[in-house]
């Protein structure tokens, strides 16, 4: 009997230990979800703040043109940081091409624009992909899953209003941030270099 009591006590102790472990696991899980929720809320607030600030002061972007290569970087950074709300800056990049090396202008603008696209990536990474109901989203998601780097490079090169969707999709799919930035830089640097060359050509031909 004494042996049986010992076995029962050991069994009961084991069950208590398992139950305590499960409770601790549940507490850690709730804490993790709470931190994740706070991170999502913070990310969305940051993205909204950046977008609103840039849109409010969009008329001041043209003043950066006087700063040459730094101006190209800042113009592209600011105009790419908004989500959905358009802040055109490509005309300013073309104008800078008339006075500075078009390739360097393109590289500076590409770097700034790539960094600016982090806002869209952050929105998707936080789990708040607001474009999921778009008819383009499923196709874009499949393309991003199979050909992520190429898809981002192509979409960043071609001027289109859907790149914010691509950035958010990349974030939602946890596409590596460094690859996302590199693909954005490649596509946008080529695009802005061509725009700067066009500005230089127009400036030389007309003036």
**Total domains present in the chain:** 1
> What is the residue range of 14's domain?
2-206
The string of pLDDT tens digits covering residues 132-168 is: 666 666 777 777 778 889 989 998 898 776 777 788 8
C-beta of residue 41 within 8 angstroms of C-beta of residue 48: no
Cα of 30 vs its chain's centroid, Å: 28
Cβ atoms of 200 and 109 within 8 Å: the answer is no
Rank 24-28, 101-105, 157-161 by mean pLDDT and report only the highest. 101-105
Nearest to 89 by CA among 119, 131, 57: 57
Q: 207 by DSSP, 3-state: which?
A: coil
pLDDT at residue 2 above 80?
no
In terms of DSSP H, where are the helices of the chain? 2-56, 68-80, 90-96, 102-116, 118-125, 137-157, 163-172, 177-206
The more confident residue out of 69 and 129 is 69
pTM strictly above 0.75? no
In the block, which residue shows the tokens 């010992």?
Answer: 6
Residue 50: what are its φ and ψ, rounded to 5°?
Answer: -65, -45
């Amino acid at each position: 009997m004494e042996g049986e009591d010992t076995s029962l006590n050991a069994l009961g102790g084991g069950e208590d230990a398992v139950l305590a472990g499960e409770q601790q696991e549940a507490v850690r899980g709730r804490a993790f979800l709470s931190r994740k929720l706070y991170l999502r809320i913070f990310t969305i607030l940051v993205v909204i703040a950046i977008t609103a600030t840039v849109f409010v002061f969009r008329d001041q972007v043209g003043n950066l043109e006087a700063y040459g290569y730094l101006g190209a970087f800042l113009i592209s950074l600011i105009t790419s940081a908004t989500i959905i709300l358009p802040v055109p800056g490509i005309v300013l990049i073309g104008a800078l091409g008339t006075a500075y090396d078009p390739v360097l202008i393109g590289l500076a603008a590409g770097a700034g624009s790539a960094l600016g696209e982090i806002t869209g990536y952050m929105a998707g990474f936080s789990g708040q992909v607001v474009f999921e109901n778009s008819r383009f989203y499923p196709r874009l998601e499949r393309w991003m899953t199979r050909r992520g780097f190429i898809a981002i490079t192509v979409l960043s090169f071609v001027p289109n209003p859907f790149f914010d969707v691509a950035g958010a999709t990349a974030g939602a799919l946890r596409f590596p941030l460094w690859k996302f930035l590199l693909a954005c830089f490649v596509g946008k640097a080529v695009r802005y270099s061509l725009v700067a060359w066009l500005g230089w050509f127009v400036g030389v031909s007309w003036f």
